[in-house]
Amino acid sequence: MNFIKEKWKGLLMRLAISIPSVLLGKKFPIIGGPVFAILIGMVLTMFIKNKEPYEPGIKYTSKKILQYAVVLLGFGMNLEVVMETGKQSLPIIICTISTSLIIAYLLHRKLDMPEKISTLIGVGSSICGGSAIAATAPVIDANEEEVAQSISVIFLFNVLAALIFPSLGALLGFSTTSGEAFGVFAGTAVNDTSSVTAAASTWDSIYQLGSRTLDKAVTVKLTRTLAIIPITLFLAFRRARKAEMENGNNIPLKQVFPFFILFFIGASIITTVATSAGVSPEFFLPFKELSKFFIIMAMAAIGFNTDIVKLVRSGGKPILLGMSCWIGITAVTLTLQHFMHIW
């Protein structure tokens, strides 16, 4: 009862932002619901002077609901299918993730950027955009403004990729009778699912390939999503180690360990076992949709706690970092695809 009394105003506010954000995201999939939620939240917060009544619900949404979203994301992962059809792209995925993280680290040092923003942009660019940021943010204890800035940078290059990559693929001579080459390209070089879908669907539509490109791109994208597991575990160990070195005290790992990732793995295993036993993949669609809605709710809370003026003023370096990661990932995936004779 106390839970409802304390948090109902904040949760109701999040729902009021999330529902139109979902509708706008479906109308404009290249942008996506999470970006609309952040934008609406940032605009709305300028007109609400007393935020105290909303704080408990906002804090709960931006932290706990975000973790629940990552757990539910696991129900969209059939590990057997992903590993069987995604293994061709695995070397490319490993190299692109490594490239993005190395670029993020080097520019973090060179440009004197905040470490948490650099980490979120590097992880978001290399793995799966908003979902990876959602999984990483609680592990490194990133605040709302850091998450909002990272999501905004990822969104910018998502849109550019979805618009540019079909023309780039044609210019490079990708096969127009098979969706394999462009599917691998979109699945490894575009970071957010909505933009992967937009780019791959455009290629299918232009060359009348049905859904062959889209199927390949989504499978590769799901394979990338699995990288959330080792990345978050590594960051948790690193945070514990860093705190121990700085404070001179042993920090219990359970304080920073991302236990929600274990539930993500459990959800993936449940999906894999169930589908192998004959359960239709469509059975898990409501869980995937709920995951998307929870991410939008969390982004609404994050936008509500973000100073839009400060975000714009400090946006130069994060954009440069995001662009560098994006170019690096694109160059690596094209180079490896060429050497692997995928195109």
Query: How far, rounded to the nearest angstrom, does the alpha carbon of residue 27 sit from its chain's CA centroid?
Result: 20
Q: Can you tell me the distance from the alpha carbon of 188 to that of 102, in angstroms, rounded to the nearest whole number?
A: 17
Nearest Cα to Cα of residue 320 among 110, 164, 171: 110
CA distances from 222 to 25, 73, 289, 294 (A): 21, 10, 16, 19
User: What is the dihedral angle through the alpha carbons of 99, 105, 110, 113, rounded to the nearest 10 degrees?
Assistant: 130
CA distances from 135 to 208, 219, 284 (A): 36, 20, 20
For the ranges 152-166, 252-266, 268-282, the one whose mean pLDDT is highest: 268-282
Write down the pLDDT at residue 248. 64
Mind listing the pLDDT tens digit for each residue in 117-170? Answer: 999 999 999 988 888 898 899 889 898 888 888 988 888 888 888 889 999 999
pLDDT band at residue 102 using 50, 70 and 90 as cut-offs: very high
Q: CA geometry: angle at 131 spanning 82 and 166, to 5°?
A: 70
Mind listing the pLDDT tens digit for each residue in 79-88? Answer: 887 777 677 7
User: What is the dihedral angle through the alpha carbons of 124, 291, 307, 41, rounded to the nearest 10 degrees?
Assistant: 140
